[in-house]
């Protein structure tokens, strides 16, 4: 072939070109797909489209092919039906013209998390998609535990409009819904940044310190008000840390030992790392804990406030730059720049009001078991107690999680 020549490229059938839709139903077993196309190959048809689904061991296989010559159409139909009957399968062959109709502009992935996911909830989501002008092109189950996660491929509606329409519906019916744009960039989200307190871990670190200082209840009240957005974070931080003045520095090791990871945290981080993601944490808590978590979990980035320690005692002050609401968003941008990842391809996860700037700056902001003000403002919310469910929002299946987890050593053990 000369440099000026190009190989023949099969053309997409014109709208008026006759095609056949061959549908096969029955009990799944190895070799069915190969058998069908071996049967069709005798009639020199071209494959236009293929779709196959297996559910509870039952197969639905659809093949859209060009129509053979008029003389052999009857023979093709008889041969396919005979082959299907020999395997105790059912066959249906429908004549038509052209390919599938083009998908509408505006394509999104809608991920629905239920615990459980009911038929009523599914109907409500599907109806709202249709009411927004969207068409469901495909449905695929991502996971069956610890939650049921189902992904809808939707076309015909802008992503932002679809997200706006589904958010109130999801809240009303009690499911979690994430809507993201379709495209290659979804798999290229290579940086995930999390809050620490009540997100990566189950605890509020300052309350762990306060318990050793005998002022846990007072600190907890201030923390709760700050997370609800009722108090300025920096002022509340200084007020709480001041109550720790005089505490012996040996308490740091005790607090580290008391920290409890959120269920699914190990799996989330391990899976992301094995899939090539970079992972970081930003916290309004303290480097005395986050530095330890970074080492133990193999995190790429970590930044928090630092408790000042002088002569083996906590002074009741913090040193260095304060990590507050605006600071978390700045750190997300800094981590993304250092990782070489566009901000649009970052994921941020948090639960409190001081996470809002970070969640809104990220390509995908996830409110994890968050306060109402955060759930309403974030791109999506997860309200089940398993941090690894965030993986499903990224289009990662349970099978991929288990494959990434296979043989992995737990860094905390």
Active site residue 291: no
Euclidean distance between CA atoms 64 and 55, whole angstroms: 21
DSSP 31: T
Catalytic residue among 28, 46, 195, 410: 195
Residue 275 contacts residue 404 (beta carbons within 8 Å): yes
Pairing state between β 135-143 and 107-114: unpaired
Pairing state between β 107-114 and 148-155: antiparallel
Over its C-alpha atoms, the chain yields an Rg (Å, rounded) of 27
What φ, ψ does residue 342 adopt, rounded to 5°? -60, 145
Helices (H), 275-407: 287-297, 325-339, 356-361, 372-377, 390-393, 398-405
Q: Where are the beta strands (DSSP E) in 212-360?
A: 278-286, 301-310, 313-319, 346-350
Euclidean distance between CA atoms 331 and 327, whole angstroms: 6
Residue 48 contacts residue 99 (beta carbons within 8 Å): yes
Residue 111 contacts residue 366 (beta carbons within 8 Å): no
**Buried b vs exposed e over 26-36: b needs ≥16 C-beta within 10 Å?**
bebeeebeebb
Q: Backbone dihedral region of 82: left (phi > 0), alpha (psi from -120 to 50 degrees) or beta?
A: alpha
**Buried b vs exposed e over 120-139: b needs ≥16 C-beta within 10 Å?**
ebbebbbebbeebbbeeeee
Torsion (CA) 39, 41, 45, 46 in degrees, nearest 10: 110
Catalytic residue among 176, 197, 203, 388: 197
Which neighbouring-strand residues pair with 381?
367
Q: Give the DSSP H/E element, type plus range, for residue 26.
A: strand 18-27
- SS3 for 312? coil
- SS3 for 97? strand
Q: Which residues are catalytic?
A: 195, 197
């Amino acid at each position: 072939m000369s440099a000026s020549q190009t190989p023949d490229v099969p053309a997409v059938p014109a709208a008026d070109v006759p095609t056949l839709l061959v549908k096969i139903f029955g009990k799944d077993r190895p070799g069915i797909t190969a058998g069908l196309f071996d049967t069709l190959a005798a009639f020199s048809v071209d494959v236009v489209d293929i779709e196959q689904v297996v559910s509870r061991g039952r197969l639905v296989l659809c093949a859209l092919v060009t129509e053979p010559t008029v003389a052999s159409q009857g023979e093709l139909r008889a041969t396919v039906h005979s082959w299907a009957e020999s395997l105790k399968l059912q066959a249906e062959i429908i004549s038509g013209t052209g390919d599938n109709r083009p998908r509408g502009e505006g394509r999104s992935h809608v991920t629905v998390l239920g615990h459980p996911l009911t038929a009523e909830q599914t109907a409500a989501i599907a109806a709202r998609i249709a009411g927004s002008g969207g068409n469901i092109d495909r449905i695929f189950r991502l996971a069956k535990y610890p939650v049921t996660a189902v992904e809808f491929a939707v076309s015909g509606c802008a992503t932002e409009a679809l997200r706006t329409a589904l958010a109130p519906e999801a809240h009303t019916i009690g499911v979690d819904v994430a809507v993201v744009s379709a495209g290659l960039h979804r798999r290229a989200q290579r940086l995930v940044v999390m809050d620490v307190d009540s997100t990566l871990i189950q605890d509020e670190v300052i309350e762990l310190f306060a318990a050793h200082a005998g002022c846990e209840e007072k600190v907890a009240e201030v923390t709760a008000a700050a997370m609800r957005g009722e108090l300025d974070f920096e002022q509340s931080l200084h007020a709480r840390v001041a109550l720790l003045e005089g505490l012996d520095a040996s308490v740091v090791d005790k607090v580290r030992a008391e920290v409890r990871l959120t269920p699914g945290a190990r799996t989330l981080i391990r899976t992301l790392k094995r899939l090539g993601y970079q992972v970081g944490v930003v916290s309004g808590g303290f480097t005395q804990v986050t530095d330890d978590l970074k080492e133990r979990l193999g995190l790429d980035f970590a930044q928090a406030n630092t408790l000042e320690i002088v002569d083996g005692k906590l002074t009741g002050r913090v040193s260095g730059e304060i990590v507050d609401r605006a600071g978390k968003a700045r750190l997300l941008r800094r981590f993304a720049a250092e990782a070489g990842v566009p901000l649009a391809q970052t994921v941020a996860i948090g639960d409190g009001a001081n996470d809002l700037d970070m969640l809104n700056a990220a390509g995908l902001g996830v409110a994890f078991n968050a306060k109402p003000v955060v759930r309403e403002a974030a791109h999506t919310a997860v309200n089940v107690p398993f941090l690894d469910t965030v993986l499903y929002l990224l289009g990662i299946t349970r099978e991929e999680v288990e494959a990434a987890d296979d043989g992995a050593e737990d860094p905390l053990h």
